[in-house]
């Protein structure tokens, strides 16, 4: 769908003043200024966060209560189970705490629900099984904050429960021994953006201090915490939490030493993903290579193997697991492609793509582990709320649906207005799930589209792309300039890689597809004698319109540094494009300046 390009404002005097006060280059000052980061003191720690500046764990709500009880349980040989979630964040946090407690010689096991068979988070059925196995202390990771009934079950069955989580909480908190949560309403912790693995990392740090009876821990504990930081960074990037404050500190520092200090299993996964030969890692390396392999295990019902990979000490087993997760990721990729093709066909055949406010799609045999990802990608492509329902091939089970909204509407609220057609539903504004009888899908589809239209008040959603500045390809070909932009890394949620525009570029050679299944797009652009390569993932359908247009283009992209065999060059990650709007015919509004980033 066509996007509206929104240029960020530009105040040359303010930017130059900021550059001077913070002693940084003007290009860095411009990008920071446009993101609202204008305090010179904060800029210093933002650009170079010191690991020593990470908040001590004892400031996190209830963490001392939890750490002291766990250490006492270890010394008393109490059977402990870490109960984690099945995504990369939950797997990582589970692995961190398991490794920590094994270091203390605890009687510890972990339990991860099966995404395809079990309900999300804590369940009374699973807790009953753990009780029957003789487990006494349950520590949740990345789940549990809304498990009021399950906490009651623990009380009734002599199970101690410690909850560590970061998700939004309801009006009633569970009655647990301790709730370690950065946004706990009874505390004033300054940063609420930690992921589940980040909370688990802080708890592991506190456990080490409690076990050592000193804030300064032993060499063995320091080495463990170094390795745990690497796993916490994986969780932070994978869970798409804001890369600000403590999250930025964890990720930025872990990326510096991950290639040398990752635990055995993570090292094997880095090798399998062909990242070991790089001079350094980026958050994008984690987001697009490591996190998908871990998430593939969870999506295909084998999350326990992801935890095993992150906890094994056996190099041979680590290699075997890394190879298997790589195959699972390929399987997941094939499943996603299959569902995407079928879902896209439904959209084109059954909906008015331009005018319908949303799409409700259903198919037999669509794998439940990938429908959420497909819904997200299609919601981004069409900029519409998308519901994808997987139907049981024999018709004995209800359909299971997953929905994404791209922030257009409140999905959970919309589902609630249609709940008469559903067996159940849950989630939040941007992502939600449901269960439905197949016969009720047509009525639900009609009610859902009507509810979306009402919330949009008849207006058509319009996607937008925020652009930092206009540049030339000659400027972007400079490794020096792009390295300066990279000072803002790691890039991710709340700190996106800058989006820039080059106007009036031509094709240096025809566009073509690339990659597995020819799903991706690559092209070489030319402008004033400079040529550069651009790529766009999942945009193979751009090839034809590029090659059939004989004129010039305006292109929006993110600059990145591509490293191969020790050689670095700048590459453009193409975000959007349009037929060129020449400056003489398309004046810019004063509040939407497109002045170029200075090379000085």
The Cα-based distances of 496 to 34, 382, 462, 511 in angstroms read 12, 21, 20, 27
- The predicted pLDDT at position 591 comes to 29
- pTM equals 0.93
User: Which distant-in-sequence residues (6+ apart) come within 8 Å of 147 by Cβ?
Assistant: 121, 122, 140, 163, 174
| Burial bucket for residue 353 (CB in 10 Å: 0-12, 13-18, 19+) | exposed
Distance (Å, rounded) from C-alpha 406 to C-alpha 379?
Answer: 6
- The predicted pLDDT at position 286 comes to 97
Q: Which residues of the chain have pLDDT under 50?
A: 583-594, 596, 599-600
Distance (Å, rounded) from C-alpha 551 to C-alpha 506?
Answer: 7
Structure tokens at 553: 């283009």
Distance (Å, rounded) from C-alpha 162 to C-alpha 19?
Answer: 47
- The predicted pLDDT at position 597 comes to 66
- The predicted pLDDT at position 598 comes to 56
């Amino acid at each position: 769908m066509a996007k509206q390009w929104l240029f960020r404002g530009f105040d040359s005097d303010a930017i130059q003043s900021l550059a001077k006060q913070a002693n940084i280059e003007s290009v860095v000052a411009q990008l920071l200024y446009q993101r609202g980061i204008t305090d010179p003191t904060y800029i210093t720690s933002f650009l170079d966060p010191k690991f020593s500046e990470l908040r001590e764990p004892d400031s996190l709500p209830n963490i001392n209560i939890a750490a002291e009880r766990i250490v006492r349980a270890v010394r008393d040989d109490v059977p402990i189970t870490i109960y984690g979630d099945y995504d990369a964040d939950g797997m990582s946090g589970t692995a961190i705490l398991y490794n920590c407690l094994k270091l203390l010689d605890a009687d510890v096991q972990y339990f991860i629900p099966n995404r395809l068979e079990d309900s999300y988070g804590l369940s009374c059925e699973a807790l009953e099984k753990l009780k029957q196995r003789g487990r006494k202390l349950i520590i949740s990771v990345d789940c549990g904050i809304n498990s009021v009934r399950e906490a009651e079950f623990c009380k009734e069955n002599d199970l101690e429960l410690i909850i560590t989580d970061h998700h939004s909480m309801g009006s009633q908190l569970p009655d647990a021994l301790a709730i370690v949560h950065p946004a706990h309403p009874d505390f004033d912790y300054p940063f609420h953006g930690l992921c589940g693995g980040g909370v688990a990392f802080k708890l592991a740090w506190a456990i080490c201090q409690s076990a050592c009876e000193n804030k300064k821990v032993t060499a063995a504990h320091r080495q463990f915490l170094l390795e745990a930081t690497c796993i916490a960074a994986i969780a932070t990037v994978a869970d798409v939490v804001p890369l600000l404050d403590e999250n930025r500190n964890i990720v930025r520092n872990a990326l510096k030493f991950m290639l040398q200090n990752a635990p055995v299993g993570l090292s094997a996964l880095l090798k399998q993903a062909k990242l070991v030969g790089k001079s350094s890692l980026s958050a994008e390396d984690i987001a697009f290579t490591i996190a998908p392999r871990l998430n593939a295990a969870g999506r295909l019902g084998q999350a326990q193997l992801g935890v095993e990979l992150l906890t094994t000490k056996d190099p041979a087993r680590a290699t075997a697991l890394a190879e298997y997760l790589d195959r699972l990721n390929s399987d997941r990729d094939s499943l996603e492609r299959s569902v995407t093709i079928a879902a896209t066909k439904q959209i084109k055949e059954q909906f008015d793509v331009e005018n319908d406010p949303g799409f409700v799609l259903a198919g037999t045999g669509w794998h439940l582990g990938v429908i959420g990802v497909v819904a997200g990608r299609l919601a981004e492509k069409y900029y519409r709320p998308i519901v994808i329902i997987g139907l049981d091939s024999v018709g004995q089970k209800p359909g299971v649906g997953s929905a994404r909204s791209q922030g257009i509407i409140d999905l959970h609220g919309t589902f609630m207005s249609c709940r008469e057609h559903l067996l159940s539903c849950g989630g939040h504004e941007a992502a939600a799930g449901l269960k439905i009888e197949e016969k009720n899908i047509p009525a639900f589809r009609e009610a859902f589209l009507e509810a979306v239209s009402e919330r949009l008040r008849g207006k058509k959603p319009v996607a937008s792309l925020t652009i930092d500045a206009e540049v030339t390809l000659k400027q972007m070909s400079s490794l020096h300039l792009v390295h300066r932009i990279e000072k803002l890394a790691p890039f991710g949620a709340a700190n996106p890689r800058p989006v820039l525009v080059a106007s009036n570029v031509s094709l240096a050679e025809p566009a073509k597809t690339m990659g597995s299944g020819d799903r991706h797009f690559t092209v070489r652009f030319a402008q004033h004698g400079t040529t550069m390569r651009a790529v766009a993932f999942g945009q193979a359908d751009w090839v034809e319109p590029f090659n059939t247009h004989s004129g010039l283009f305006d292109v929006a992209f993110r600059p990145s540094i591509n490293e191969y065999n020790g050689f670095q060059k700048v590459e453009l990650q193409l975000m959007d494009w349009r037929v060129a709007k020449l400056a003489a015919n398309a004046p810019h509004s004063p509040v939407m300046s497109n002045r170029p980033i200075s090379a000085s």
